[in-house]
């Protein structure tokens, strides 16, 4: 009887172990199936992110180059379709593509739909039930009553497209020396650094050159050939009074009326002076034209003789305008370098 009881106990233990093994195998199979689907979902989401980013970049680049809304939308759709998501190119509907602009938000920039100055493209990449391509089927999801996956991704890209008007003081006081160089020589060197920085950081930028003394004139119309601007600056000669307001108005007009001005480009004016305004309308009056045209004005004062308070007020009258003061040629170069680098910064979530 004892032997029978021991044998029965061993059989019971074996039966329990078999049940445990079967349950373990089932759990492992379920885990394996779940892991396959989870891994696939991560892959699909990464593919969707890549396709969405590519579409946004292509749309923004085309908008910058062609300055055409329809071409930008077509480019975004084309590049989305070239990137596979779950085995097929991503199809964007028109509602998945938004054109707009950018505006400061804290220390970053945010997308503004249908802005007056179009410079950014926002893409909503979708593989959900309402998208043209539909949801993504899973391999083993049916076992868990979840056989479809509907990821979405968003990407925004802004091309740094700038039309820049340089407005430089060539009044008689620019012939005065500051250390080893004249003020005009210091300005010529500083502008050279500015153009070098701009060509590297903002290759799509266009620059015009205007000068002022007793009167004001545009010397170089808007151009992407920065060498032309550099050459013109090297030939400037100082004379006359200081009509800052007329110089500013000439810069405003160059961004408004030049045949090459681009409707979607961000408009920036840089006004440099070494002295006191003493001819023509005040720049605090003519800056109203820049405000009305949504142009940003940065001002640079050079030398102790310059009216810093006036030029700071001119800059602050425009959205995003900044004033810089330079006590010597090193400060002047740094001011122009800082402006050039700030023009190239575009941060989008």
pLDDT in tens, 128-159: 999 999 999 886 655 555 678 899 999 998 87
Q: Any idea what the Cα angle at residue 180 is, between residues 175 and 184, rounded to 5°?
A: 30
Pairing between β-strand 266-273 and β-strand 296-302 as defined by DSSP bridges: parallel
Instruction: Give the orientation angle of helix 183-201 with respect to helix 226-234, to 10 degrees.
Output: 180
* CATH for 332: 3.40.50.410
> What is the domain extent for residue 10?
2-158
Please tell me which residue, 179 or 293, carries the higher pLDDT value. Answer: 293
Nearest CA to 284 out of 268, 271, 265, 274 is that of: 271
Last residue of a domain, one of 158, 180, 210: 158
246 shares a domain with 207: yes
98 shares a domain with 210: no
179 shares a domain with 52: no
pTM of the predicted protein model: 0.67
Residue 242 has a pLDDT of 96
Last residue of a domain, one of 99, 134, 158: 158
In a domain, 305, yes or no: yes
Q: Give CA 171 to chain center in angstroms.
A: 36
174 shares a domain with 154: no
In a domain, 349, yes or no: no
Q: Considering the chain, what percentage of its residues have pLDDT values greater than 70?
A: 85
Q: How many CA atoms lie within 13 A of 199 on its CB side?
A: 14
207-249: pLDDT as tens digits: 999 999 999 999 999 999 999 999 999 999 999 999 999 999 9
Last residue of a domain, one of 116, 137, 158: 158
In a domain, 171, yes or no: yes
């Amino acid at each position: 009887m004892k032997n029978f009881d021991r044998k029965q106990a061993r059989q019971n233990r074996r039966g329990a172990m078999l049940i445990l093994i079967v349950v373990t195998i089932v759990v492992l199979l379920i885990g394996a199936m779940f892991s396959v689907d989870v891994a696939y979902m991560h892959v699909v989401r990464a593919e969707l992110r890549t396709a969405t980013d590519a579409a946004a970049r292509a749309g923004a680049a085309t908008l910058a180059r062609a300055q055409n809304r329809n071409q930008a939308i077509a480019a975004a759709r084309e590049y989305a379709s070239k990137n596979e998501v779950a085995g097929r190119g991503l199809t964007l509907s028109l509602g998945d593509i938004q054109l707009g602009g950018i505006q400061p938000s804290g220390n970053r920039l945010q997308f503004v739909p249908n802005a007056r100055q179009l410079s950014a493209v926002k893409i909503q990449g979708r593989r959900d039930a309402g998208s043209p391509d539909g949801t993504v089927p899973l391999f083993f999801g049916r076992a868990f009553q979840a056989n479809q996956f509907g990821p979405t991704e968003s990407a925004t890209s802004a091309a740094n497209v700038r039309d820049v008007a340089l407005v430089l003081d060539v009044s008689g006081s620019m012939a005065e020396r500051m250390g080893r160089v004249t003020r005009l020589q210091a300005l010529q060197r500083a502008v050279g650094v500015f153009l070098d920085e701009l060509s590297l950081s903002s290759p799509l930028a266009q620059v015009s050159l205007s000068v002022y003394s007793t009167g004001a004139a545009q010397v170089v119309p808007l151009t992407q050939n920065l060498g032309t601007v550099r050459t013109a600056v090297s030939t400037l000669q100082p004379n006359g009074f200081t009509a800052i307001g007329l110089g500013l108005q000439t810069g405003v007009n160059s961004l408004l009326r030049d045949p090459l001005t681009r409707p979607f480009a961000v408009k920036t004016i840089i006004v440099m002076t070494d002295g006191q305004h003493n001819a023509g309308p005040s720049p605090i009056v003519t800056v109203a034209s820049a405000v009305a045209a949504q142009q940003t004005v940065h001002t640079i004062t050079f030398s102790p003789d310059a009216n810093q308070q006036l030029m700071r007020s001119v800059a602050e009258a425009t959205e995003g305008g900044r004033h810089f003061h330079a006590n010597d040629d090193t400060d002047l170069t740094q001011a122009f370098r800082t402006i050039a680098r700030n023009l190239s910064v575009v941060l989008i979530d």
